[in-house]
Structure 1
Amino acid sequence: MSAATADPALKGPLAGSVRLGFLMLYAMVFVLAAGWLTTNLRQVPPDSRAVVFRFGRVNRVQEAGLLLAWPTPIEQVRLLPAPDKQIAYKVQAQQTGFQSDETDMQLEPNDDVIHLQGDRDLNNSAYIMTGDGNVVSLDATLFYTITDPTAYLLVEDHVLPALQRTFLASAIYLAASRHLDDFLVAQPDQTDVDANNASDPKVVALAARRQALRSDLVATMNERLTALRATGQDLGVSISRVDLVALLPPVAKAAFDAVLTAAQIADQGAAAARTDAARMTQEADRQRDELLAAASAAADERIRTAMASTDPVDALEAQETPANRDTLLSHAYQDQIAAILQRVGDVTAIDMRGGKQLVLPGPTP
């Protein structure tokens, strides 16, 4: 009897509500399970790649595309930049909190301040020495790519400090064999270079040397990273580019600026002198051309006058023969002597072989 009375109760409204609640709970659990199973179903962006960890160990590397992985905590996914994506890292200069009188500022002599050589060397550690005995500070930005994601993730926290130490070691090594002008234009007066003339072959050569310095720095850093990889300490990165800005110590920069200013003023004075010399040369050339032209014209005029004066003689010579030579000369003499006698007042003719004189009256005034 009790069982018969219990069956209708189980089929009542309460039992339906309980069954519905359990069905909703099952559905919710199913949805949650489906969501958990698809937590690592994702799209890897084109500029990234995914590293899949299974129980804390690297299982595989997935390039851009659809990623299928077991949910956490079975597999974990870490996104890293693509192999061809460059990552920038600004090299941090060492901060000592002290300004050195040898590089950063000039201090007034003070008996209360004692500078020890060791402290000076420590406080000047941000500067490196070049092969010609100068010092320079390098403000650098490194661009690197991740070549081995597994090795990179194993030492991720140590990659940037290692890159900074590698950069400093490579920069010190290269600076020892380079001159200051390989880093920046600092001594154009000593290298006979016109820094304002971009087409000057020496300017082009210096620019090529500065570019070569950056290329050598990249190559040297990659050589050091390869050496680390050979010893089992692979960082999983490779240097692709270095943006380098060389800075002089403030005191030295002021001195170099003063030298550059003086050199520019001297260049301007030399340019003005060359301009004046060119103008004076042009004026002298113009005057010379005028004198030559005037002399040539005068010579031509005198030649034409002489030729006009000798034309009658040339005409006589053209008509001269042995038979009529005396007659032509007599006629020419008479013509010329008549013109001469017309311009004189009187003429006294003396016969050198006798004592007779002949006085001819001239024209009446």
Structure 2
Amino acid sequence: MTSPRASVLADTLTWSFRLLFALVALLAGAWLVRGVQRVPPENRAVVLRFGQVVRTVGPGLLLTWPSPIESVVLLPSQGRQVQFAPEALERQSPLDQGMQNAPGQASAVSDNARDNTWFFLTGDGGLVHLRTMLFYQIDDPVAYVVAGDHIEPMLRRALITAAVHLCASRSLDGILVARPEAAGTPDRVAQRERFARELVREVNRRLRDAPGAGTGIEVARIDVVPSIPAGAKESFDTVLAVGQQVERSLADARTTAETRRQIAEQGRQGALDDARARAEEMVRTAQARSALILSLGRDPSLDRATVVDQVYRERVKSLFDIVGRVETVPVDTHARTFISGATP
């Protein structure tokens, strides 16, 4: 016969086991319920079992083994873009504090070289600062989850490398309007318009060529705000003023040289005209003097006596044109002939 004390103990143990079983069942149910999840319409889920990717599912109800057996990583859908600021690691740097105190779009340069990451040298030796905002899409969820925390550092390195390459391949005016006199050059305008697109293409190429597994992402857009270091505007203004002064000096020199050239051209033309006139006059005089002699060869009727007679008549005529009166005396006398000419 069982004693009352033993019966009470048996009942207590029975109820204890029942309560413990119910508690375990309740905890197991709660643990199993944790494996029921809802994937929002704007997301997709990657299921990992003990750290290994087993499947990818879209929006809807998702049933998985609760943690630590399986875990779920929610990712944006393929059509959505993820925003990434490459300078997020430098938000609290002294460079940002200098930027806040700098007027306009000017950028400050920090004494710490690590804070000057986003300053780049251009092909003409200029210095430009780039503020960037990157937007990418997840094309391969499995590769993205496997890459994990390496995604953002890889994006940052790819962006810096691409920016170094592009900035070195063009001048400062091909990235931003640094000098107003060169702002409207068609080639520079086209370079500024293509800069962001070429930066996206270069970053994607470097992500694809990265060693190891792919990242599973593709950069869709990069917003770029270029600026120049603080104090550079004053330097550009000084260079512009000096350039304008040089242009004025060159213009004055060109004007003086053109004036002198015109004066010399006028003098040269006048000397040539005088020389031609004198030459023509000398030719005409020579032709007049040699006309009679030249006619001897052309006209066979002219002989020496005829030419002498003609010369005599021309000279006597010129003599009579000068004298006013002629008195003659017989030739058999020894008297002299007096010719009273006109008063000079």
Band of TM-score, shorter chain: 0.5 to 0.7
Counterpart among 248, 261, 270 of residue 228 in structure 2: 248
Q: Secondary structure at the match of 2:232?
A: helix
Partner of 1:357: none
Hey, what's the Cα distance between the residues in 1 that align with 2:191 and 2:72? Answer: 45
Partner of 2:198: 216
- 8 Å CA contact retained: 2:118, 2:131: no
Change (3 A) 1:23 1:233: closer
**Structural RMSD (CA):** 3.8
Hey, what's the Cα distance between the residues in 1 that align with 2:19 and 2:240? Answer: 84
Q: What's the offset of the Cα at 1:71?
A: 2.0
Alignment of 1:1-365 (within 5 A): 5-6=1-2, 16=11, 18-92=13-87, 126-192=118-184, 209-228=191-210, 231-256=211-236
TM-score normalised by the chain length of structure 2:
0.56
Amino acid of the residue matched to residue 83 of structure 1? Q
Q: What's the offset of the Cα at 1:126?
A: 4.2
Change (3 A) 1:132 1:61: same
Amino acid of the residue matched to residue 241 of structure 1? R
- 8 Å CA contact retained: 1:152, 1:237: yes
1:298-356 deviations in whole A, cap 9, x for unaligned? xxxxxxxxxxxxxxxxxxxxxxxxxxxxxxxxxxxxxxxxxxxxxxxxxxxxxxxxxxx
| Residue ranges of structure 1 left out of the alignment (5+ in a row) | 106-118, 194-201, 263-365
Change (3 A) 1:17 1:121: closer
Q: Secondary structure at the match of 1:140?
A: strand
| Residue ranges of structure 2 left out of the alignment (5+ in a row) | 99-106, 243-344
Amino acid of the residue matched to residue 168 of structure 1? I
State the identity as a percent: 39
Hey, what's the Cα distance between the residues in 2 that align with 1:260 and 1:91? Answer: 34
- 8 Å CA contact retained: 2:37, 2:63: yes
Amino acid of the residue matched to residue 72 of structure 2? V
Change (3 A) 1:64 1:190: same
Q: Secondary structure at the match of 2:192?
A: helix
Change (3 A) 1:123 1:242: closer
1:93-146 deviations in whole A, cap 9, x for unaligned? 88798x9xxx957xxxxxxxxxxxxx9999976422223332211111211222
Q: Secondary structure at the match of 2:125?
A: coil
Hey, what's the Cα distance between the residues in 1 that align with 2:151 and 2:161? Answer: 15
Change (3 A) 1:224 1:29: same
Q: What's the offset of the Cα at 1:226?
A: 1.6
